[in-house]
Amino acid sequence: MIRHSTPAAPTAQVTVKALVNTVYGRLKKARLAYGHGTTNAWDEAVWLVLHALRLPLDQLTPFLARNVTPAEQRRIWGLVDRRIQHRLPTAYLTHEAWLGDRRFYVDQRVIVPRSFIAELLRDKLVPWVTHPRRVNSALDLGTGSGCLAVLLAETFPRAQIDAADVSHAALAVARRNVAAYRLQRRIRLFQSDMFSALADKRYDLIVSNPPYVSAAAMRALPLEYRREPKLALAGGKDGFDRVRILLRQAVHHLMPHGLLIVEIGHRRKQLEAAFPHLPFVWPLTSGGDDCVFILERRDLPEEPPAVHQATRASPRSHRR
Ligand SMILES: C[S@@+](CC[C@H](N)C(=O)[O-])C[C@H]1O[C@@H](n2cnc3c(N)ncnc32)[C@H](O)[C@@H]1O
């Protein structure tokens, strides 16, 4: 059940410290779900207050004694009420999310970025990629906000990046982020159902954080996660519908030395049971060693390619 909070009346004298404490208490009482940029009520309270006051999000201490005006208090309580009443992740209220130290615009057309693949990119995919400057091409399949495509472009400065998503709405957000990072020349956006619009393209790297939530897990999702596009989360009965397509078709889109890097949540056991003959490698991330797998092209089974139809997304069609 969603509990409704009572808006607090603004008072003339209240400090940032007092306000963060009160917001924290309110969030805690509301028993929210976290995982969209923070993991607890305290961090979320600090984020909401500092955002509403337009202060740097990593600097609470210098501002603890600052007075908060009645207008600012109203702004803060407006955000807190929406967070609690609608169970909206804070990132959708503030329209910003971070992956590593990179900021991305987000709204409800895309999931809030949190892919563990970002950590591997921060390390330039070493040791699996031995010469990052020799990476010429990469695909981000299921690009959402475009966050991984942007990180790929930054990590591999010589690479041309293709970023594909079946969702026109998501591509509009990706376009905005690509433009914000001035990467329009290096990142091409495609509207594509998996590989369908990428007919004869081959890449050094294919990266994907596909929908991988099973039907049973979808039914149990906290409300905050239901505010995200279902298309970005639901992976069919066992969660692996799109992963199966990746495992079947990536071989036709990888260079001979190419790598496939896929995030699947904490589902290593289930995937290894479903594909016992594939030599998955599970790099360690802060999520553990069961979230992301890497396969070399030579480890993927050869199968006849699917029939493709090429359609590059028109730049105008995705403008907000
Ligand atoms: C888990 S989200 C990942 C978004 C982004 N890469 C990230 O890490 O934040 C999965 C994305 O895959 C897209 N998607 C779902 N089904 C797809 C399909 N059949 N073909 C291409 N993209 C698909 C969704 O629209 C969504 O943006």
pLDDT tens digits for range 53-92? 999 998 999 989 999 999 999 999 999 999 999 999 999 9
Q: Which residue's CA is minimally distant from atom 17 of ligand 1?
A: 166
**pTM of the prediction?**
0.91
Q: What integer pLDDT is reported at residue 87 of this predicted model?
A: 97
pLDDT digits over 187-242, tens only? 999 999 999 999 889 999 999 999 999 999 999 999 999 999 999 999 999 999 99
- Ligand 1 pocket: which of 114, 115, 151, 165 to mutate (most atoms <8 Å of CB)? 165
Confidence of residue 144 (pLDDT cuts 50, 70, 90): very high
- Ligand 1 pocket: which of 36, 108, 143, 207 to mutate (most atoms <8 Å of CB)? 143
Is pLDDT above 90 for 182? Answer: yes
Count of CB atoms situated within 10 Å of the CB of 248: 17
Confidence of residue 1 (pLDDT cuts 50, 70, 90): very low
Tokens of 98: 């971070």
CATH ID of 16-94, from 1.10.8, 1.10.3470, 3.30.160, 2.60.120: 1.10.8
Nearest to 281 by CA among 270, 292, 267, 266: 292
pLDDT digits over 277-304, tens only? 999 999 999 999 999 999 999 999 886 5
In the reported structure, the alpha carbon of residue 209 is separated from the centroid of ligand 1 by a whole-number distance in angstroms of 7
Query: Could you tell me which CATH class the domain 99-318 is placed in?
Result: alpha beta
Confidence of residue 11 (pLDDT cuts 50, 70, 90): confident
Confidence of residue 10 (pLDDT cuts 50, 70, 90): confident
Cβ of residue 230 lying under 6 Å from some atom of ligand 1: no
Ordered by start, the domain boundaries in the chain are 16-94, 99-318
Cβ of residue 148 lying under 6 Å from some atom of ligand 1: yes
Cβ of residue 209 lying under 6 Å from some atom of ligand 1: yes
Nearest to 22 by CA among 49, 2, 62: 49
Q: How far apart are CA 49 and CA 57, in angstroms?
A: 9
Q: Which residue's CA is minimally distant from atom 7 of ligand 1?
A: 113
Residue 210 alpha carbon, nearest atom of ligand 1: 10
Q: What integer pLDDT is reported at residue 3 of this predicted model?
A: 45
Cβ of residue 115 lying under 6 Å from some atom of ligand 1: yes
Cβ of residue 258 lying under 6 Å from some atom of ligand 1: no
Is pLDDT above 50 for 14? Answer: yes
- Token look-up 């889109």 returns 253
Cβ of residue 112 lying under 6 Å from some atom of ligand 1: no
